[in-house]
Structures are given as C-alpha cells and as structure tokens.
Amino acid sequence: MVGSVERVNHGVYSNGLIQNGNCSEEKLDQLREVLGKSKGDPLRIVGIGAGAWGSVFAALLQDSYGQFREKVQVRIWRRPGRAVDKSTAEHLFEVINSREDVLRRLIRRCAYLKYVEARLGDRTLYADEILKDGFCLNMIDTPLCPLKVVTNLQEAVWDADIVINGLPSTETRDVFEEISHYWKERITTPIIISLTKGIEAALDPVPHIITPTQMINLATGISMENILYLGGPNIASEIYNKEYANARICGSSKFRKHLARFLRQPHFIVWDNSDLVTHEVMGGLKNVYAIGAGMVAALTKESATSKSVYFAHCTSEMIFITHLLAEEPEKLAGPLLADTYVTLLKGRNAWYGQMLAKGELNLDMGDNISGKGTIQGVSAIEAFYELLSQFSLSVLHPEEQKPVAPVQLCPILKTLYTILIVREQSAEAILQALRDETLHDPRERIEIAQSLAFYRPSLLGQP
C-alpha cells in the first residue's frame, strides 16, 4: 500500500525520487525566467476559491515555495462573511487540541483563545478568519499551513501572474467575468490553472459542452494558450498528508511542461498532456457516477458485488459518452479512469449519494452542503442529460435499429436524472437500473461505441 513519503538516507525518498535541498528554489527560478520576472519583482500566485482542493493546492505551494519571500507570493481569495456554526467550532477545537504542532502554532500566534471562545459559544468564527490559521471549512480534520487570505477580489487578482481556479463550475463564469473588469488595464497576460471539474450545457447554435477553461476564456477573453487544467486521481486531504499521488496538467505546450515541473513534488507527481478537453469532460463525468456509487453502497450495505456491478455499468457508460467526445478514445484509460475510481471510493459526490440513500440528507437541502461544499455531480447530471437527450446527436439503437438520442443507451445517467433532477423516483431506483433483466452486457455498449462513427466534434464546440 502506498503510504506517506518519508525521508531516508542521502535525501532519497521511499518512492525513489531524490530530493535536493535547492530543488524548490531552482524550479522557482526557472519559472520566473520563463515568465520574464525581474529581480525584486515577486511571482504572484493567487488561488480563487477556498474549497478543499483549492485550499490544499495553495497550501502545497506555500509549503514548497513560501520560504522564498522575495521571489514568490502565494495568497488565496475567498468571500468574507461565512460564519462557522457552533458544532463545527466545537469539532475544530477538538482537532486543534489533538495536534500538538497545531496547538503550539496557534498559541505562538496568539490565536488559540478565539477558538476557546468559539467552542464556548462566546464568539463567532468566520471561514476566511480560520483559513488564515490553516483551517478549511470544508476539511476541518486536515489542518493546513497558515495562508495569506484576501477577501477583496480586485486586490487578490489585479497583479497576479498565476491564478488557480478552485471555484465550483457553477460559479466560475460569474467570478471570472468580475475579474475581467480588473484586468482591462493589464499589460501582461496571466496564466490560469483550473482545478474545477464540471460542465455547462449549451444548445445554441448546436448542442455543446462548455468546460470551466472555456468559461474562463469566454468571461475574460484570455487566450486558451494561457488557460490550463489540472486533475488526477486524488483526495485533497490525503495529498496534503503526503499520500503518494499524481496528476496531469493539460493544455497548450507553451506553459504546461514548465508548470508541471514547478508543481511536481516528491509525493505529488505532475505529468503534462495536450488533451485539455477530454480530461476536463472526464473530470465532470466521474462526479455524475460517483453519486450513484454512493447510493448503491448505502442501499446494499457496502456489498462488494453490487458495487462491482455498478462499476462495470457506469464505466461502460462513461466510455460510451466519451466516444462521442473524443476522436482518440484510447486516451481515456489509465489516470482518467483512476480519477473515476478514487472518486467512487471516497469523495464528496459519493458521500452525497450515500447520505441521500440513508435519508440523512434530502434534495431540498440543495447541492451546497455545510462542511463539504458544492456537490458538483448534481449540475453535471443535468448538463449531460440535457445534451445527450438531443435527437440531433442520435445514434442507432442496436436492437430496434432506429435512431435514438444517446441518453437512451445510458440507463444509469437516465436514472440519476429522474432521482436528482426531476425527482420522479427515490434512490432505490438506482438498484432497479442495475437489476433490469433486459440490460445488456456492459461490453456491448463499449463495442457499439467502438464500431460506429460516434465522434461528435460539435459537442465540444468544434466544427
């Protein structure tokens, strides 16, 4: 089992990588040179959005490069005013007192007393306030390093060299439209790395997907050459605790190799890839099926057999859908499916499905859950269903030998839509979708996609 990366003799890590004490500064100097930064002008990196992954990503950069204060500044923006409820404050106090290093740090910073007062109900804490001390509201159990937090968006981004998008896909367009107003007088063009997994659906002039990087491009006018996506099979808290992980940064060749080297750490390996859209789409699609996986796990009391049956059917649907989106579907193996696997195993979308099936949450609570953040899979279900139900994208039904909308060959997606969006069925319907005696071998769905000219470039906004 892969565990934490620990230092052994001569600076060699247990994963075989060699750690040079000057490696971080060398990587920083190389990126500064690529971006044309002069001496005395720090590289300014800003995270936008302070969910679990956005906060961890900023903390990783702060841990790696924060010591070089004259060469780099790392800060994170989040909205002010989000209060921490008393039960969360009580839990946060328990976390602080269970970690001697965190307790000592807060005492040294004269910050411990406010957590005592919050536990007693004598004070209200705010999310931006605790983030400065290294606590993400969506990930209380994993203390981070202290972060420089900015609550004024203009102050955060106006001179940023690199912007990390950690916003939900449902908020990305609006926030970057606001950011574009602050960049009108800029001479240099910033680089944007999007961590966001989700899509929007658009039906005019033809049905097509809008990914987060495309949202940013449309909102700001910044060239796609400067907008990249980073994703991979990982859980934010485990990465910060130095579980070995990997990811891909995808986009134009102009910056991606330089950024991959800059972001790479002994326990977090970053590869680079040119296939931006496919990785983004798969990032959104896996959240869809993770909700169903959580439902199946809860309804069958974690039955390994039931979960494996679900995995077979949902991955065949994902492959079927991505054959519509990708000209070279063999690229969908490996890390892309691994990202699906880890999200089905342990992620907020799978957790959400479990809680719905257990009756501990209900749909009227919405898709923004306290302590977890936005459940991205909900909006993605609606977007994929809306797109794939368009008859203009029709495919030939294998038995009926007549054209049907692609969604008719995706029973899991259809069932999730009826449960979560139109609310015509309960969570138990997901089991019926698996047990339908007319359901074909998942391999047949893959063979259909592989044997026909399925690719629809128009779905990605391409001619």
DSSP state of 7: B
Amino acid occupying residue 298: A
Choosing from 197, 286, 372, 414, which is the catalytic residue? Answer: 286
Q: Rounded to an integer, what distance in angstroms lies between the CA atom of residue 86 and that of residue 439?
A: 49
Structure tokens at 95: 């976390």
Q: Rounded to an integer, what distance in angstroms lies between the CA atom of residue 159 and that of residue 150?
A: 13
Residue 28 in 3-state DSSP? Answer: helix
Burial 364-400 (b: 16+ CB within 10 A, else e): eeebebeebbbbbbbbbbbbbbbbbbbeebebeeeee
Cβ-contact 233, 197 below 8 angstroms: no
CB-based contacts of 442: which residues, under 8 Å, 6+ apart? 312, 313, 315, 316
Q: Rounded to an integer, what distance in angstroms lies between the CA atom of residue 388 and that of residue 201?
A: 10
Listing DSSP states for 341-363 in one string gives HHHHHSSHHHHHHHHHHHTSS-G
Question: Which value, in Å, is the radius of gyration of the alpha carbons in the chain?
Answer: 23
Verify whether residue 257 is a known catalytic residue: no
Burial class (CB in 10 A: 0-12, 13-18, 19+), 353: buried
What is the DSSP pairing of strand 43-48 with strand 72-77?
A: parallel
Residue 12 in 3-state DSSP? Answer: strand
CA 227 to chain centre: 16
The span from the first CA to the last CA of the chain, in angstroms, equals 46
Listing DSSP states for 46-70 in one string gives EEE--SHHHHHHHHHHHHHHTT-TT
Cβ-contact 166, 54 below 8 angstroms: yes
Q: Rounded to an integer, what distance in angstroms lies between the CA atom of residue 207 and that of residue 62?
A: 41
Q: How many CB atoms lie within 10 A of CB 402?
A: 8
Q: Rounded to an integer, what distance in angstroms lies between the CA atom of residue 153 and that of residue 174?
A: 12
Q: How many CB atoms lie within 10 A of CB 254?
A: 14
Catalytic amino acids?
286
